Structure 1
Amino acid sequence: MNQEHPDIYDVTIVGGGPAGMYAAFYSGMRAMRTKIIEAKTELGGFMRTYPEKLIWDVGGVEPVRCEKLIDSLERQARTFDPEIVFGQEIAGMERREDNVFVLTSKTGECHYTRTVLLCAGRGMTQIQKLDIEGASRYELSNLHYTITDLSRFKNKHVLISGGGNSAVDWANELANVARQITVVHRRHEFGGHEQPVEQMKAFAKVMTPYSLNKLFGAGERIERVELVHTGTGSFEEFEVDEVVVSHGYDRDFGNLSSWKLDRGDYGIIVDPQMRTSEDGIFGAGDFITYDSKVRLIAGAFNDAVLAVNSAKRYLDPDSSKMAGVSSHNPRFSEKNKEIVQQEIG
């Protein structure tokens, strides 16, 4: 499609999380020359912050550790050999007179593309750390902002501070590992999904409305915590073995925020075809918002399909509205033969 300039891609995907990875696979199904640009040094996006979590809600996939799901998505994303660029945060965007977009990274590299698919997820996330005097000295011992190894919590009394999905999920993940779990939240209502919240309440000691007020330790480990009741101001102290803080993340989209795209409260606004307010620029995943947006990994996959189809139709209005299903897609014919040969030995 781009014989006149080998460096111009049909679609350039900004962000290598679940939406970006699936978009790379699906654009391959549509025979589009594809590039992914990821600001970090690996694919996975925000999913990298909870590698030990069990993921249950991806259709047709049995419960799987997040790190394994990332590995599967990356292998799938590489099916049609997209160009993948790591360590470049996109800052600038301009459209040339020939309608080719020029994306410029903070390190000065330029990327040329006919369409742009923004899959920046939650941006460059920064953990909201515990704002208590002396908290930082426990970060290398038993104060955690994520969990990468469930085994270190075995038979421990674990205090979890937070009320969102991540806090609730970690409590449920530790249910059969820890000896005791105490969940502290500054409001009575939890922000997590209903069923996991009820599951957590069945086994965890839930203290609301409380917040962490002080940490007491000997050497580099926390031994006791002080909680304050957010309504009465009364205090409670008790011993703990491990403390997990899940207070959310600050989102930073860098220079993407300055692009002239319509924005809503929870991301860049797109229409039902994942088109932004700028022709040729599309979006998918947590970076975007629309009325029926579903903020699940499975929802990111659907966003990616719709966005790629729209990008394809933008480039070629006479093309089909979607790729052929995989069982009939000619791009899989040779790959299917290889798989069959492997199965029959």
Structure 2
Amino acid sequence: MSDTLELYDVTIIGGGPAGLYTAFYSGMRDLKTKLIEAKEQLGGRMLLYPEKMIWDVGGVTPIRGEKLIQQLTQQAMTFSPTLVMGQQIVGYERQEDGTFILLSDTGEKHHTRTIILAIGYGIRKLAKLEIEGADRYEVSNLHYTVQELEIFRGKRVLISGGGDSAVDWANELEPIAASVTIVHRRDQFGGHERNVSRMKASSVRVCTPYTVQALHSEDGKAIDKVTITHAETGETEQIAVDDVIVNHGMKCDFGPIREWGLDMGEWHTRVNEKMATSIPGIFAAGDFVTHGSKVHLISGAFTDGVLALNSAKLYMDPEAPTVAYVSSHNERFKEKNRELGVVDEEE
């Protein structure tokens, strides 16, 4: 079977920031690269927050998630990797020559020398509000993602949640909504400290430690009031609303990958400082990994990807340079520069 399949040097599983940047860097190292994404869109977790402002990518001024996805995708395609969409990789077979056959849920197979897992938190499902009948309002004014800020202009908005996204949405909506109330079950928020401070210094009403207990609707179609309950005293309060946003995180499912034999915990696989997993030839990057110096930022995912790719290169060729030449001195960019009208002074 492997004789009939095209052999790739590196197959990256996952098309989020880690996978996309790794595909670009793999091109810098002149490797034959394939990227496989389970969904029909690239972007990974950022697809859930296309209008969210991202501030912490080095050298990039504040940028909306959808725009960053576009730019990462464009960069990933620089060296024309093979792109496969809509396939979830469920298993692998090690061949006698040490290469891998990857098995997808569609029945298709992929042949590769090395694998880089950039699957984030696996198949992501938004954690829903655990109130009976809440789902009926999902077609009106109960939201689990924010696709367009303008629909909340002049509205009374209640946000349930205390992580990065809940805090970010509170800050984004505060200038345009009539009012913003954020309800969190703990006194401490999980968002970045600066963003939490900004939220608390604004007109956002912060209700902690409270939980959403009930949704009320006069017409049965849209929520017009929310009952919240104090987590310690049991005291309740009703708040009039026009829209409710729930951000309780995600339920994640790694599926059959849990059966591969990786050294996995509940949320991550453990890798060493070179992003090597417990299985030779399989490396990992991004939110999927944990290691002693892990940085849970998009920039940290980029670094993981570079380390994983360099390790894959050395796994295939121990005599290869340990890193790629920087773009200003990398031969692979000379033609790209000419296409941009940039002439190398040394030519």
Structure 1 residue 113: Cα displacement:
0.3
Deviates more, 1:60-69 or 1:234-243: 234-243
Match of 1:112 in 2: 111
Q: Secondary structure at the match of 2:321?
A: coil
Do the aligned partners of 2:121 and 2:267 also contact (CA within 8 Å) in 1? Answer: no
1:167-193: CA deviations, max 9, x gaps?
111111112111211010111111222
Deviates more, 1:332-341 or 1:32-41: 332-341
Match of 1:213 in 2: 213
Whole-Å Cα distance in 2 between the matches of residues 231 and 280 of structure 1? 51
Structure 1 residue 265: Cα displacement:
4.6
Query: Which structure 2 residues correspond to residues 1-345 of structure 1 after superposition, within 5 A?
Result: 7-203=6-202, 204-217=204-217, 218-340=219-341
Do the aligned partners of 2:35 and 2:83 also contact (CA within 8 Å) in 1? Answer: yes
Deviates more, 1:166-175 or 1:68-77: 166-175
**Which TM-score applies when normalising by structure 2?**
0.95
Q: Secondary structure at the match of 1:190?
A: coil
1:285-333: CA deviations, max 9, x gaps?
0011101111111110010011101100111111101010001111110
Whole-Å Cα distance in 2 between the matches of residues 166 and 231 of structure 1? 25
Counterpart code for 1:230: A
Counterpart code for 1:207: C
Structure 1 residue 341: Cα displacement:
6.0
Q: Secondary structure at the match of 1:10?
A: strand
Do the aligned partners of 2:184 and 2:210 also contact (CA within 8 Å) in 1? Answer: yes
Whole-Å Cα distance in 2 between the matches of residues 236 and 102 of structure 1? 58
Do the aligned partners of 2:35 and 2:81 also contact (CA within 8 Å) in 1? Answer: yes
Do the aligned partners of 1:264 and 1:289 also contact (CA within 8 Å) in 2? Answer: no
Structure 1 residue 78: Cα displacement:
0.6
Q: Secondary structure at the match of 1:117?
A: strand
Q: Secondary structure at the match of 1:84?
A: strand
Do the aligned partners of 2:5 and 2:111 also contact (CA within 8 Å) in 1? Answer: no
Counterpart code for 1:216: H
Counterpart code for 2:48: T
Deviates more, 1:109-118 or 1:256-265: 256-265
Q: Secondary structure at the match of 1:151?
A: helix
Structure 1 residue 48: Cα displacement:
0.3
Q: Secondary structure at the match of 1:264?
A: coil
Whole-Å Cα distance in 1 between the matches of residues 65 and 341 of structure 2? 28
CA RMSD between the two structures:
1.3
1:63-99: CA deviations, max 9, x gaps?
0110000000001111111111011101111211100
Number of aligned residues: 339
Whole-Å Cα distance in 2 between the matches of residues 62 and 181 of structure 1? 26
Do the aligned partners of 2:161 and 2:183 also contact (CA within 8 Å) in 1? Answer: yes
1:239-259: CA deviations, max 9, x gaps?
111100001100101111111
Do the aligned partners of 2:37 and 2:87 also contact (CA within 8 Å) in 1? Answer: yes
Whole-Å Cα distance in 2 between the matches of residues 194 and 69 of structure 1? 23
Q: Which runs of 5+ in 2 are unaligned?
A: none
Counterpart code for 1:224: K
Q: Secondary structure at the match of 1:244?
A: strand
Structure 1 residue 266: Cα displacement:
3.5
Structure 1 residue 264: Cα displacement:
3.3
Structure 1 residue 6: Cα displacement:
6.4
**Which TM-score applies when normalising by structure 1?**
0.96
Do the aligned partners of 1:160 and 1:243 also contact (CA within 8 Å) in 2? Answer: yes
1:183-226: CA deviations, max 9, x gaps?
10111111222111111111211011111111111242111111
Q: Secondary structure at the match of 1:261?
A: coil
Q: Secondary structure at the match of 2:83?
A: strand
Whole-Å Cα distance in 1 between the matches of residues 91 and 339 of structure 2? 42
Structure 1 outlier segments of 4+, above 6 Å: none
Do the aligned partners of 1:11 and 1:33 also contact (CA within 8 Å) in 2? Answer: yes
Whole-Å Cα distance in 1 between the matches of residues 81 and 175 of structure 2? 41
Whole-Å Cα distance in 1 between the matches of residues 304 and 183 of structure 2? 35
